[in-house]
Amino acid sequence: MGDSKGNLVTMAKKAVLVGCNYPGTKAELKGCVNDVERMYRCLTDRFKFQKDNITVLIDTDENFRKPTGANIRKALLGLVGGAEPGDVLFFHYSGHGVRLPAETGDEDDTGYDECIVPTDMNLITDDDFREFVDKVPSDCIFTIVADSCHSGGLIKKEKEQIGDSTKNRNEQNREAQFDGEQKREGRFGFRDLLSETVHDAVHDAFESRGIHLPSRHGHKHHSEYNKEETVKVLRYREGEARNRSLPLSILIEILKEKTGREDIDIGKIRATLFDIFREDASPKVKKFVKVLVTKLESNDDGGFLGAIGNLAQQFLKQKLEDSGDSSGYLEPALQENVSSTHEVYAGSTKNRVQDMGMLISGCQSDQTSADANPTGNPNNAYGALSNAIQAILSEHYVPMANRELVMRARKMLSDQGFTQRPGLYCSDWHADAPFIC
């Protein structure tokens, strides 16, 4: 970023680093905190960040602030809210990602929210990240590295520079050839999981509307797998890797444990998140609840608790009946400004004169990212994208453009046997700007 004479102007370099290993849970990962530790050293040693300007949130050490949804949101708001033109802002997240299916049953509901998964399950959505980026002042760079599943869509409506919709025919052919080589050699990368991910997405979309389809595992209802499903473990060229995509069944099981309720399932997730976290819930979740309230108030019988047409409304109806104080219970949602249901379903449509956000994703929005552990020792575990970035930077001491970094990471991960495809989402100017510095 330059001044009127073209000189580089940097007022401050500030960062928030988040690592969620979810220790002791069925969602447990091994490499996320290691990713944060390596990035911390990289920022201080290579990019000359001051330690006092780096906020670290991890869930494996009591000496650090926990990466809860409220704490992550507070750290991000502090990062962008205190920014000045010329500042360099950086956010690195290593942990689970999840895709929430549509839950309203409305025909105009656009479906999935891509989310990161804080250690307390207080999800932060792609629309939330859009709002964080929109708060960044002009002439200020905000770089996000998301080493999680479904991370390709993490900044809502960000321009895709490198990703599935921009790849050419030759790239598709190369990827098809690589897939064939994997199968012939008996190796399994993360594309082997993709077909299952797509199947689950379609299955969940129907389940969210109350249509129960047979599972590929049998004819059980989705919720019956809660105590059987775990984070999937696959093999890649150098060893074992876990999937950084949190299965909906595990998310639901953890929410059941938090609430003591056994009736939580797809269709009630957002309402449950509001019930648990209230004021600290995602603004997207609170807006969703406000729309439900509007629907309840508009029922033909005029009653606030009239007939309900879907699971989320049923859940909210019961909570309001139990609370005895509907206005107090709903206050965090009612305070949200909602201009239309489209805003809740599809996000804000406001025009952006300048977009200062830049996302490097671990994979595409419909893919999973790997939590690799080549030696079996958790001290050596890492996120595949995070490790690739560190390896590339260690070999290149001159500034590297974001576009080049992502293309090199794609090749490195492919060479290592991973089939997740990192993406780059930003303005044209940011794509060719140097990474961080």
**Residues 395-430 pLDDT 10s:** 998 999 999 999 999 999 999 999 899 999 999 999
The catalytically annotated residue of 149, 203, 222, 426 is: 149
Q: Are residues 41 and 126 in the same domain?
A: yes
Higher pLDDT, 319 or 426: 426
The two beta strands, 423-425 and 357-361, are antiparallel
Q: Are residues 306 and 392 in the same domain?
A: no
Q: Is 305 inside any structural domain?
A: yes
Among 328, 346, 364, residue at a domain's last position: 346
**Cα 16 versus chain centre, distance:** 15
Q: Is 269 inside any structural domain?
A: yes
Taking 80 as the threshold, does the pLDDT of residue 202 lie above it? no
For the question of residue 363 being annotated catalytic, the response is no
Please list, residue by residue across 196-206, b when 16 or more beta carbons sit within 10 angstroms of its beta carbon and e when fewer do: ebeebbebbbe
Q: Are residues 364 and 380 in the same domain?
A: yes
Q: Are residues 156 and 22 in the same domain?
A: yes
Taking 90 as the threshold, does the pLDDT of residue 205 lie above it? no
Instruction: Please report the pLDDT score of residue 221 as a whole number.
Output: 38
Instruction: Please report the pLDDT score of residue 10 as a whole number.
Output: 52
Beta strand segments in 1-106, E: 13-19, 54-58, 88-94, 97-100
Q: Is 117 inside any structural domain?
A: yes
Q: What is the CATH number of the domain that holds 386?
A: 3.40.50.12660
Residue 433: pLDDT band with limits 50, 70, 90: very high
Q: Are residues 22 and 155 in the same domain?
A: yes
Span 360-402, pLDDT tens digits: 999 998 899 999 998 889 999 999 999 999 999 999 989 999 9
Tokens (6 digits) for 21: 């290993």
Span 165-190, pLDDT tens digits: 665 534 444 444 434 443 343 333 33
Q: Is 283 inside any structural domain?
A: yes
Residue 273: pLDDT band with limits 50, 70, 90: very high
Q: Are residues 54 and 159 in the same domain?
A: yes
Q: Is 373 inside any structural domain?
A: yes
Residue 136 amino acid letter: V
Among 291, 322, 346, residue at a domain's last position: 346
Q: Are residues 269 and 409 in the same domain?
A: no
Span 115-120, mean pLDDT? 97
Among 346, 367, 392, residue at a domain's last position: 346
Taking 50 as the threshold, does the pLDDT of residue 215 lie above it? no
Span 344-355, pLDDT tens digits: 666 655 555 467
Return the bridge partners of 353, or none: none
Residue 315: pLDDT band with limits 50, 70, 90: confident
The catalytically annotated residue of 96, 150, 222, 430 is: 96
Residue 300: pLDDT band with limits 50, 70, 90: very low
Q: Is 314 inside any structural domain?
A: yes
Q: Are residues 386 and 284 in the same domain?
A: no
Q: Are residues 160 and 290 in the same domain?
A: no
Span 3-26, mean pLDDT? 79
Q: Are residues 293 and 413 in the same domain?
A: no
Q: Are residues 299 and 375 in the same domain?
A: no
Q: Is 67 inside any structural domain?
A: yes
Residue 80 amino acid letter: V
Q: Are residues 152 and 26 in the same domain?
A: yes
For the question of residue 149 being annotated catalytic, the response is yes
Query: Cα-atom radius of gyration of the chain, to the nearest Å?
Result: 22
Distances (CA, A) of 310 to 80, 287, 401: 38, 17, 48
Supply the range of the domain harboring residue 277: 259-346
Q: How many domains does the chain have?
A: 2
Long-range contacts of 409-413 (CB under 8 A, 24+ apart): 409/360, 409/385, 410/162, 412/388, 413/384, 413/385, 413/388
Distances (CA, A) of 397 to 184, 231, 392, 400: 38, 37, 9, 8
The pTM (predicted TM-score) of the whole model is: 0.82
Q: Is 109 inside any structural domain?
A: yes
